[in-house]
Amino acid sequence: MSLSHGRPYLAIPGPSVMPEEVLRAMHRSAPNIYEGQIVDMTATIVADLRRVARTKGDVAIYISNGHGLWEASLANVLAPGDAVLVPVTGRFGHGWAAQAGRMGAEVRLVDFGKQQAIDPARVAEALKADTEHRIKAVLAVHVDTSTGIRNDVAALRRALDETGHPALLMMDAIASLGCDRIEMDAWGVDVLLAASQKGLMTPPGIGFLWVSEKAQAVRDGIEVTSPYWDWAPRLHPEGYYQHFCGTAPTHHLYGLRAALDMILTEGLENVWNRHEVLARAIWAAAQRWGADGPLTVNAPEGVRSHAVTALRLGGDMADRLRTWTDTCGGVTLGIGLGMAEPGDVDFGGFFRIGHMGHVNAHMVLGALSVIEAGMTACEIPHGDGAVAEAARICAGA
């Protein structure tokens, strides 16, 4: 017998749960893509994307996932042979760095491992050593979805300013926009990347680059840029089609409009606070489970994401737990992406909980209850009182 029949809960760190309002907005006939409602609506989306990123900068919209955004960000600011500095705290930092390398950049990697945040002092040392200013950009992932580490991007801006280095500061906020606090202008970010499928609660398929005037000036000096990834016509389109280098992603835009309405009606500060409380509830439960068992939170206190939590059980326990919660409890947990390689002893030892976007107390408390039931069913040692402690945190919000 399985108890999974009923509405399933996808608790992976993206694609996140899509609200009914978003799905209803998308369930419609195709619009005219040359004039009228879709054109007028896109103008409101651009304005509200600025509000969500806390910036006055221009925003380019791409029909793309996050990997496409990495390429778009690099294609507009780098010439072959330029150097990039990439401080890494997980799989996705390595991915962005690898893409830069394949596009002809010299990659200077500073790897902080999988259990600590970026140290701005080490970044400053690398910047000081670059006396010829060959480094054109610092590529920083705000929240690495694989490790659950949240990095201090404002501190990276201070490192750039204090060393007098002219490099652009580029920030991957794909996992964090709409979940963790982001202040693009206040933090001095030149290029910010985000996609639709996580905190923005819209199906995968569209992505965004917010671009400072400094970054636009760098683009103006690049001799050759990919026609599709070029952000110049997208930022300042002469015709509607130039927003998207062709046909607009019409139904994604309808869904995104509904998602932005939900975020702004709740209030961005309230959205951030909700994510913080629900994240603390998960961490508190993990602490109770780990008091009498092997479970640990990967990210240290103080640098944990409010959008995703990576946890370690060791051996094959996480795989067995994920199988039980999915097939018997109706909750799908995230795999331990990038935490170990196939063949390693702990390849099946990690799992992740996504708590991003359209998520509330009953979803989180329900998922935690199913996880605890799964640990009991799989005979995984764990401490008591985890769900009660999580409920106490939610009650005190």
Single out the residue in 265, 290, 315 at which a domain terminates. Answer: 265
Residues 258 and 347 grouped into a single domain: no
| Owning domain of residue 391 | 9-16+267-396
Residues 169 and 283 grouped into a single domain: no
Residues 220 and 96 grouped into a single domain: yes
Q: Which amino acid is at 374?
A: G
Is 299 buried (19+), middle (13-18) or exposed (0-12) by CB count in 10 A?
buried
Residues 136 and 242 grouped into a single domain: yes
Residue 12 β-bridge partners: none
Helix axes 268-290, 250-266, angle to 10 degrees: 80
Residues 248 and 278 grouped into a single domain: no
Domain presence at residue 230: yes
Residues 260 and 301 grouped into a single domain: no
Single out the residue in 236, 265, 294 at which a domain terminates. Answer: 265
CATH number, domain with residue 140: 3.40.640.10
Residues 259 and 274 grouped into a single domain: no
By DSSP bridging, strand 308-312 and strand 296-297 are antiparallel
Total structural domains within the chain: 2
In this predicted structure, the answer to whether residue 347 has a pLDDT above a threshold of 70 is no
Domain presence at residue 290: yes
| Per-residue DSSP letter, 13 | S
- Give per-residue pLDDT as tens, 19-62: 999 999 999 999 999 999 999 999 999 999 999 999 999 999 99
Single out the residue in 211, 232, 265 at which a domain terminates. Answer: 265
Verdict on whether the full-model pTM lies above 0.85 = yes
Residues 254 and 279 grouped into a single domain: no
pLDDT of the residue at 381 = 98
- Give per-residue pLDDT as tens, 291-322: 999 999 999 999 999 999 999 999 999 999 99
Contact 372, 387 (CB under 8 A): yes
| Per-residue DSSP letter, 304 | B
Domain presence at residue 1: no
| Per-residue DSSP letter, 56 | -
Contact 38, 209 (CB under 8 A): no
**Joined tokens for residue 308:** 């995703």
Is 312 annotated to bind a ligand? Reply is no
